């Protein structure tokens, strides 16, 4: 049996990954060896002592390394294990290696052909994509694969989980902060405007929990995710075009750009898409292509009740569904398509492509 070294299994993405691996009985297919950056020698989840994630020899004893540890660890250890001549498969959730020439961004329902070509060429660094990009391509990748897309604009509504577990908790603490302090006034029948005024004051209160985000997210939104680039884009916005084209293996990149926004959802990223087609494709053909593309896409009719019931973070959270709705031609012209997608950022957005790649290389 192949030996798979698992690093970063305790964090949020790592925990979701292990949960999925147990659910799919993945562990029957290899020997799992657990590593730690801080608790080597202590008992791991299988009852055996944890290996040291900073020990090159222990790492290179593995056939495969599967990591959700984060970019700093990847940047530290990946060059060392490769320099030691290790030829095993490196499967990584972090973005550190994503745009390297020798790395493939894995999203097998979308780019199995790219993965197959890379395996034939002997590549062995397999990196999970940015969650919004992966979720967009699982939803409407069919249109790109058909060669119908001239350009696309994606405006995102990204959940707190994308910023990390601390941020997710902070969003809930902010809600709790409001709840605790507004309860009496609300119970006493204060008006919406009176309460709203207090919310504005509470957001500026020194005790308001804002350590992780730096700002209120509850009763607010944050139209900037990740660092600033000279183009005026945020790094999250830059990833849409860079990563989507790499995933699709496009030699002529399709322009994709928009504004990425953090909203008060917990673990589902949504996006409003404007897709410019290079010819007038009938809506029925577009619907058929999306439905047939992969087993997880769930196309919802452009109907108010069905949309509000099925194309929301509340409807999708915790499932592998990729909901696609609001599909219609826009008043801008017959080559402009509107769509709205929603997917679980921790599942298809992070863990699922990794465990599926692991199964492939095992």
Q: Using CB under 6 A as the criterion, which residues of the chain lie in contact with ligand HSE when the complex forms? A: 130-131, 158, 162-163, 225, 236
Tokens of 348: 């298809």
Q: Alpha helix locations (H) across the chain?
A: 12-23, 56-60, 71-83, 108-120, 131-145, 165-187, 192-203, 235-248, 283-293, 304-310, 313-316, 352-361
Taking the complex as a whole, the smallest distance from the CB of residue 184 to ligand HSE amounts, in Å, to: 35
Round to whole Å and give the CA distance between 104 and 66.
15
* CA-based end-to-end distance of the chain: 9
Which of residues 158 and 341 has its CB atom nearest to ligand HSE in the complex? 158
Q: What is the DSSP letter of 191?
A: -
Point out the residue whose Cβ comes nearest to ligand HSE.
162
Q: What one-character-per-residue DSSP string does 50-118 give? A: PEETT-HHHHHT-SEEEE-S-HHHHHHHHHHHHHTT--SEEEE-SSTTTTSTTEEEE-HHHHHHHHHHH
- Judge contact between 97 and 129, C-beta under 8 A: no
Which of residues 131 and 322 has its CB atom nearest to ligand HSE in the complex? 131
- Judge contact between 208 and 216, C-beta under 8 A: yes
Which of residues 74 and 130 has its CB atom nearest to ligand HSE in the complex? 130
Which of residues 17 and 131 has its CB atom nearest to ligand HSE in the complex? 131
Which of residues 8 and 44 has its CB atom nearest to ligand HSE in the complex? 8
Taking the complex as a whole, the smallest distance from the CB of residue 239 to ligand HSE amounts, in Å, to: 8
Tokens of 319: 């499932």
68, 78, 89, 131: the active-site residue: 131
Taking the complex as a whole, the smallest distance from the CB of residue 40 to ligand HSE amounts, in Å, to: 27
Taking the complex as a whole, the smallest distance from the CB of residue 132 to ligand HSE amounts, in Å, to: 6
Which of residues 124 and 345 has its CB atom nearest to ligand HSE in the complex? 345
Taking the complex as a whole, the smallest distance from the CB of residue 143 to ligand HSE amounts, in Å, to: 22
Exposed/middle/buried for residue 286 (C-beta within 10 Å: 0-12, 13-18, 19+) = buried
Round to whole Å and give the CA distance between 245 and 86.
29
Round to whole Å and give the CA distance between 18 and 46.
12
215 included as an active-site residue: no
Backbone angles phi, psi at 66, to 5 degrees: -120, 115
Which of residues 82 and 235 has its CB atom nearest to ligand HSE in the complex? 235
Taking the complex as a whole, the smallest distance from the CB of residue 135 to ligand HSE amounts, in Å, to: 9
Backbone angles phi, psi at 249, to 5 degrees: 70, 30
Round to whole Å and give the CA distance between 281 and 284.
8
68, 78, 89, 269: the active-site residue: 269
Taking the complex as a whole, the smallest distance from the CB of residue 322 to ligand HSE amounts, in Å, to: 15
269 included as an active-site residue: yes
Q: Is 341 helix (H, G, I), strand (E, B) or coil?
A: strand
Query: Which are the catalytic amino acids?
Result: 131, 269
């Amino acid at each position: 049996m192949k030996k798979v070294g698992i690093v970063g299994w305790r964090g949020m993405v790592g925990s979701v990954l292990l949960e999925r691996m147990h659910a799919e009985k993945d562990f029957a297919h290899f020997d799992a060896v657990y590593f730690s950056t801080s608790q080597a020698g202590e008992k791991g989840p299988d009852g055996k002592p944890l290996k040291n994630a900073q020990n090159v020899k222990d790492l290179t004893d593995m056939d495969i390394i599967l990591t959700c540890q984060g970019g700093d660890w990847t940047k530290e250890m990946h060059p060392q294990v490769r320099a030691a001549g290790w030829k095993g498969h490196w499967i990584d959730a972090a973005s550190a290696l994503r745009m390297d020439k020798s790395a493939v961004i894995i999203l097998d329902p979308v780019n199995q052909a790219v993965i197959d070509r890379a395996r034939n060429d002997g590549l062995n660094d397999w990196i999970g994509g940015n969650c919004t990009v992966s979720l967009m391509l699982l939803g409407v990748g069919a249109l790109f694969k058909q060669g119908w897309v001239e350009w696309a604009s994606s405006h995102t509504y990204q959940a707190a989980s994308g910023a990390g577990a601390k941020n997710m908790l902070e969003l809930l603490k902010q809600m709790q902060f409001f709840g605790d302090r507004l309860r009496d006034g609300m119970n006493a029948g204060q008006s919406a405007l009176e309460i709203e005024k207090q919310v504005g004051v509470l957001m500026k209160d020194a005790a308001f929990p804002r350590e992780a985000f730096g700002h209120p997210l509850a009763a607010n939104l944050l139209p900037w995710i990740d660092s600033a680039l000279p183009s005026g884009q945020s790094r999250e916005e830059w990833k849409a075009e860079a990563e989507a084209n790499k995933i699709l293996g496009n030699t002529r990149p399709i322009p994709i750009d928009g504004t990425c926004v953090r909203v008060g959802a917990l673990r589902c990223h949504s996006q409003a898409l404007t897709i410019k087609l290079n010819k007038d494709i009938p809506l029925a053909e577009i619907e058929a292509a999306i439905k047939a593309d992969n087993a997880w896409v769930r196309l919802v009719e452009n109907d108010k009740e069905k949309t509000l019931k099925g194309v929301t973070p509340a409807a999708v959270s915790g499932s592998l569904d990729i909901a696609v709705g609001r599909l219609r031609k826009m008043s801008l012209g017959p080559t402009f398509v509107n769509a709205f997608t929603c997917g679980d950022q921790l599942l298809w957005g992070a863990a699922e492509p990794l465990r599926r790649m692991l199964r492939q290389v095992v």
